[in-house]
Structure 1
Amino acid sequence: MVVYGENTVTHIFSGKAVARAVRAHELVDASLNISLLCLEYSIPYGERPSDHEDLVRVSSVYDDLVDGKISVEEAANHEALQAISLRLEALKSNTVHSAV
């Protein structure tokens, strides 16, 4: 049984549909990560993290990256970003294990 026409899949993967799907995926991923950060650091939604050293340092790294003061590689390897990443991974792991 054929559900799609002969060239439909090629057409679907040729532009707008894929771009929209990728953007939607990235937005959902970013939203979930923001929610996890707020949960992990006990930050109310919409507030700036002024009393969490790692988050303040990552904000500074982001500003430096946007201003061209550091490279993407330097930003990705920054110790504060690594610390936050480890905390998020631990939270995700604990959430998955507690859900099972």
Structure 2
Amino acid sequence: MKIVRKQDGFTLIEMLIVLMIISVLLLIVVPNMSKNNDVANDKGCEATVKLIQAQVHAYKLENTSFPQNLDVLESEKYVEKITCPNGADVGYDASTGIVSTP
């Protein structure tokens, strides 16, 4: 009489190996994702500064002078907000009309 062993499923060792591989992959992927998030915030801030700069020039065309501060652009509906996506305020020189990154 033969004893037949039925092998359904995974052993504990196989499951531990799979979990270890998944953990290593997560350790590699998660730091790269956070670095990409920082790059995206920087690019978003650059785009916001360019948009505000364009609106400063549009304001000057309509009013023949640069706005005294960026709050004027927001109150007169030239822009929705005058902050970068990461929450930083942008710089502005009223004498030259130049908008700069924080």
Task: Report TM bin, short chain.
Answer: 0.3 to 0.5
Q: TM-score normalized by structure 1?
A: 0.39
Larger Cα-atom Rg:
2
Which of the pair is proportionally richer in strand? Answer: 2
